[in-house]
Structure 1
Amino acid sequence: MSAAAMDYEPAGELKIGQVGIANLRIRTLDVDKLVEEMRGRVQRAPKLFLRAAVVIDFGGLANTPDTDTARALLDGLRKAGVLPVALAYGSSDTERLAEALGLPLLAKFRAQYERADGAPETAPPQPAPPRPRETAPDTAPARSAPARAATNGNPGMIHVPLVRSGQQIYADNRDLTVLTAVGAGAEVIADGSVHIYGPLRGRALAGAQGNEQARIFCREFHAELVAIAGHYKVLEDIPKELRGKAVQVWLQDEQLHIAALDTP
């Protein structure tokens, strides 16, 4: 078997930010591999990634790439179907590179999605540590207790009307409960957990400020995308037997898990 066939480690780790902008953190500076990975993501979920705005983050590399290599990566990503719109700030070298490429810097983009040990030295201070975690089970319980509220104890936000295509609902530092449906092309975001009592056809993002204990619950699952603390799955990544079912989504060992909930 060839060395290429044995290489299962992704060259780029993609996370979804609070406002739906993708943050492509470069782990290995292999332009061809990065372009092919992104082309595959676009092909698997064209409605989600085609012509999507992407922030390029070189903070995972020991050295900032030279201008020619960075420009080749940007050109390749555009041909793959996405639109690089900025660099994530990491150092003065990154600042000079952004200037040479004619791209803006997003200085605070990553801070709320990265663990403290992975954040750049210039990142803003992290929030106060949460209370001790409860250990997540290896498999989802048949009927889970309600997920903890966001860290400051704010009452949850309740949204009654249908969340229509193009709408975005955000629960700042609290849980979000949607009493109806989330339509295709709509987005619901919470710093705590997300509870949806109708069909979920759009996107749901929980733990937007990095709370890995947040969960997503919905009564009828058709989501375009679900994410917790930046870790995401798109519909094409989800077993077909879970589609249309009542499910919960949780994060364990940096892996997103989705399982059916028992319903009466």
Structure 2
Amino acid sequence: MNAPSRPTPALDFKSATLYALRLVLHSHEQAAIEAELTQRMDHAGSLFRQEPIVIDARLLEQSPNWPWLLELLRRQQLPVIGVLAEGTLLDDAQAAGLTAVDTAAERPARAPVAEENADRDQTASAHAGSVQGKPAAPKKQAATNTMPVPDTAASATGEQSATDTPLSADTLVINRPLRSGQRIYARNGDLIVVGMVSQGAEVIADGNIHVYGPLRGKAMAGARGNPSARIFTTCLEPELVAIAGVYRVVENALEPDVHQRAALIQLDGEHLRITALNT
């Protein structure tokens, strides 16, 4: 006689790890917050749309207008999943419907590897995933800033074809130019693009980015906080470059020694350093 089958449960609880962007507030003033957020989202294009957000209000002495802030983030397509706050700020945030989270929402760090393995380096950095206050500006015409970078996307977005080759478990090779509006993300490894990255296209990698052609769009290396990640290109004329959350918007032409030249981009402390490659 067959035993009666057990009904399938309607739900279950399972463990999960969720990475989120941490939006660090340095001011409670509505005008200042809206102006800064609008500028940064305009510069970043679609890179941060629909990324989960944890609001970090621990640096504030006065609560912002929480309902207004939540509506502002909603309009920018930044879903809020919780808040880091203390005391009356936390009470006010919870009264507005926010859920308190702990620092587990912040990105964990991993141990660094040797310098000779820098091209495979996967070191994590605690500062990635936060929005810092004052931008560092090594060049007058193009400021360097720190802002969160995506870490919840799928392994790659945008169109892919049979010519897109996973060179190894850690490297994604795109064997074609990328058009405006296309976005490619190499998760847990490097990205190689054999062709042009057009203006309006976006390339993202947790490791290094190599572009064998003109880089005219946006390039983000070290997307999960790897400060040793680098960007290489045979022709540099980008809209935006970033490494481990430190980014530089290029509104005007770069310096003559690197503009439309083969170049290397890497982090030097909290600044991006762009070096021409002799070819």
Question: TM bucket by the smaller chain?
Answer: 0.5 to 0.7
List aligned pairs for 1:1-264, cutoff 5 A: 24-38=23-37, 48=45, 58-59=55-56, 61-62=58-59, 66=63, 69-73=65-69, 85-86=79-80, 89-90=83-84, 97=93, 100=96, 121-123=103-105, 126-133=108-115, 147-151=118-122, 154-236=169-251, 239-241=254-256, 242-263=258-279
Structure 1 counterpart SS, 2:84? coil
SS for the counterpart of 2:105 is coil
Cα distance change, pair 39–154 in 1 and its aligned pair in 2 (3 A): closer
SS of residue in 2 equivalent to 1:258 = strand
Number of corresponding residues? 213
TM, length-normalised to structure 2:
0.59
More relative contact order, 1 or 2 (CA 8 Å, 6+ apart): 2
With 91-100 and 190-199 compared, the bigger mean Cα shift is at: 91-100
Asked whether the equivalents of residues 170 and 190 of structure 1 are also in contact (C-alpha less than 8 Å), the reply is: yes
Q: Among the aligned pairs, what percent are the same residue?
A: 33
3-state SS of the aligned residue for 2:197?
coil
CA distance in structure 1 between the partners assigned to 2:185 and 2:94 by the alignment = 30
Residue 221 of structure 1: how far off its partner (Å): 1.7
Aligned-CA RMSD value: 4.1
Check the 8 A contact 1:24/1:54 in 2, yes or no. Answer: no
Counterpart amino acid of residue 263 in structure 2: V
Asked if the contact 1:194–1:217 (Cα under 8 Å) also holds between the matched residues in 2, the reply is yes
More helix by share: 1
Higher radius of gyration, 1 or 2: 2
Match of 1:116 in 2: none
Q: How does the TM-score come out when normalised to structure 1?
A: 0.62
Q: Deviations over 1:38-85 (max 9, x none)?
A: 46557xx66848x9778765425245854x62345567789xx95654
After superposition, the C-alpha distances for 1:16-48 in whole angstroms (9 at most, x for unaligned) are: xxxxx9864212334333344446557xx6684
Structure 2 CA distance for aligned equivalents of residues 83 and 125 of structure 1: 21
